Chains A and B, each alone.
Chain A
Amino acid sequence: MNILDINTLFGAYPYQRAESTAETLADVLGKLGVGHALTLSTWGVYYHDMAGNQETLRATQQFTQQLIPVGTVNPLTFWDSGDMLLQLLQTSFSILRLFPHEQGWPIDFEPFHSIVKLLADAPKPQIDRDPTLPRATRGWPLWHDRGVALMVSIDKPGDATVLGRAVADYPAPVILVGTTSTTITEVLTVMNRYEHLILETHRLTIPDGLARMRDAVGADRIVFGSGGAARSTRSALDYVLNSSLTESEQEAVLGGNATSILVGGR
């Protein structure tokens, strides 16, 4: 099974001690048979987005067979960096991740709306696509054929509703990261309304919750994420493997769906 963990971070956290270097992450992935992970440096979350992007590229270069770099931008400091962001996304990253909760900005936030519009309107690069991930990892970046996919953290009730409205017309997939037992009903309701929204799994704890989500929105709209290396990759992986999803559904959740998002074809 080709497993792709769509949600990992490496680097230091300001508030907790965690063994979470890029080396640790690569090691954990290897031990658990996770072939690839989307990842970025915590510098981009807590310090500065562009400094973090540079650190992400530097660190992932040592693990090109495993770690796929994710770009980030902080709307709190986004002013005249649109061209730089687009260039980074077109040359180095395949997906853009945003952290409203961690950085303290509301999702209904004009700079965030500006970023979404910028990306929605950006010219799509002409790239010779190959639908297999190993090829894709050698040829980053590969935008989804409708634009760069987004990953956005949600934390509390109301976040998914506001996010759904903010990206209603966004042409590419948008992955909601951090759905919990508290927000799952809202997330599924919003996903029913906006078909390009995707659910990530790392904070799900409801027993057999994945089967319920499959029934509600389809297994092809669920992607595996662990929150590793700081969070347990094994427990997140077991949550999927021990679910009552069929084998083919598990394969889709653990890697197939994410691959489709990254290389297009959804």
Chain B
Amino acid sequence: MPFFDCHTYLTVASFSSSMRTREQVLDTMQRFDLDAVALISGLGATCDFSNGNRLLREALDDEQGLFGYVTLNVAYPDESLQEQRMYMSKREFVGGVLVGEPGRPVTLVHAREIVNAQRRYGKPILLYAGDTAAVHAAREIAEEFTQIRFILLSMGGDDWRAAVETAKKCLNVNLEMSGNLDADKITVAANAISARRILFGSGLPNGDPSLYRGLLQDSEILTTSDRNRISFDNALALFQINADVE
């Protein structure tokens, strides 16, 4: 079964140097049997989004399955629009990821201008949704911009049921499956919104893809086709990537 890990980082990390450079990312992909990854810049997400995007671009290579997200910081609306113009049309960038003050969810009032501008690129936006508050904030954004696809990273964390409810009501919301490891998570989500809107992701280098591979295997209601969709096909479709990545 092919795997496209939609939630990974190009970053320096404690206890791991596995995702710091392009070469290390490729080695890590091989080690975990990943066919493609979409990377967030760790530097961009935590501190310096502009330099993060620049360094990330240097590491991407769509022919080797290395895709990325443009980091957009709601504290810098003008500069974020500029980053969108600079990178979003490039095929190795498959979407944007919205960040703001660490530890606080990005809210509609702060994100509106950037999200509005994203409409012209036709690419999805990732929202950190690791807890209940972040899911509710993400839902407000998704409800206002129904023509944009959103990916809720970590699908609500321990409150993944709230993320599933949000995706059920907002048809433009997809769920990335890293985070909580409850055995019934994928089954409940697939029953509620179908396997077509669930994406495989791990959070590498802080999350081990094996954990989420196991979670996927655990879900007995999924057909082989469903599993393929979650592990790979949904990402190709959402990111509009040609299947030759595989």
Q: How far is the CB of B50 from chain A (nearest CB, A)?
A: 7
Which of chain A's residues have a CB closer than 8 A to the CB of B13?
Answer: 48
Tell me, yes or no, whether A141 is within 8 Å of chain B by CB: no
User: In angstroms, how far is the closest chain A Cβ from the Cβ of B45?
Assistant: 8
- CB A196 to nearest CB in B, in angstroms, measures 30
Quick one: which of A3-24 are within 8 Å of B by CB?
11-17
Tell me whether A14 and B75 are in contact (CB under 8 A).
yes
Which residues of B are found within 8 Å of A77, using beta-carbon distances?
A: 14
What bracket does the count of chain A residues touching chain B fall in?
Answer: 10 to 19
> What is the chain A residue whose CB lies nearest that of B99?
A14
- Flag whether B51 is at the interface (Cβ < 8 A): yes
Across-interface contacts of A48 in B (CB, < 8 A): 11-13, 42-43
Query: In whole angstroms, what is the CA distance A79 to B43 when docked?
Result: 21
Q: Which residues of A contact B103 (CB under 8 A)?
A: 104
What does DSSP make chain B's interface, helix, strand, loop or mixed? Answer: loop
B1-15 interface (Cβ within 8 A of A)? 11-15
Contact present for B47 and A14 (CB under 8 Å): yes
Q: Does A42 contact B (CB under 8 A)?
A: yes
CA distance A17 to B78 in the complex (A): 10
Q: A residues within 8 A CB of B50? A: 12
- Residues of A81-126 at the interface with B, using a CB-CB cut-off of 8 Å, are 104
When chains A and B are docked, how far (Å) is the Cα of A253 from the Cα of B73? 38
* A43 interfacial contact with B, CB 8 Å: yes
The CA-CA distance from A17 to B48 in the complex, in Å, is: 11
Given contacts A12-B49, A15-B75, contact A47 B43 (CB under 8 A): yes
Contact A14 B73 (CB under 8 A): yes
Among B15, B46, B100, B103, max chain A CB count under 10 A is at B46
Chain B residues lying within 8 Å of A43, measured Cβ to Cβ, are 43, 47-48
Q: Considering only CB atoms and an 8 Å cut-off, how many residues of chain B contact the other chain?
A: 22
Q: Is B121 an interface residue (CB 8 A)?
A: no
Name the one of A47, A50, A79, A104 contacting B47, with C-beta atoms under 8 angstroms: A47
Residues of B contacting A17 in the complex (Cβ-Cβ under 8 angstroms): 75-76, 79
Q: Which residue of A lies closest to B102 (CB)?
A: A14
Whole-angstrom CA separation of A79 from B102 in the bound complex: 23
Does any Cβ of B come within 8 Å of A51's Cβ? yes
Cβ-closest chain B residue relative to A104: B103
Q: Is A46 an interface residue (CB 8 A)?
A: yes
Indicate if B33 sits at the interface (CB-CB under 8 A): no
Output the residue of A17, A45, A76, A104 with the most chain B CB within 10 A: A17
Contact status B75-A79, CB under 8 Å: no
- Measured between beta carbons, the chain B residues less than 8 angstroms from A76 are 14
How far, in whole Å, are A11 and B50 apart by their CA atoms in the complex?
11
CB<8 Å pairs between A and B, sample of 26: A11-B47, A11-B48, A12-B47, A12-B48, A12-B49, A13-B47, A14-B47, A14-B101, A14-B102, A15-B100, A15-B101, A15-B102, A16-B75, A43-B43, A43-B47, A45-B47, A46-B46, A46-B47, A46-B102, A47-B12, A47-B42, A48-B13, A51-B12, A77-B14, A79-B15, A104-B103
19 additional contacts (CB under 8 A) given A47-B47, A47-B48, A76-B14: A11-B48, A12-B48, A12-B50, A12-B51, A13-B75, A14-B47, A14-B101, A15-B100, A15-B101, A15-B102, A17-B75, A42-B48, A43-B43, A47-B12, A47-B42, A48-B11, A48-B12, A48-B43, A77-B14
The 5 tightest CB contacts between A and B, nearest first, are A15-B101, A46-B47, A77-B14, A12-B48, A47-B47
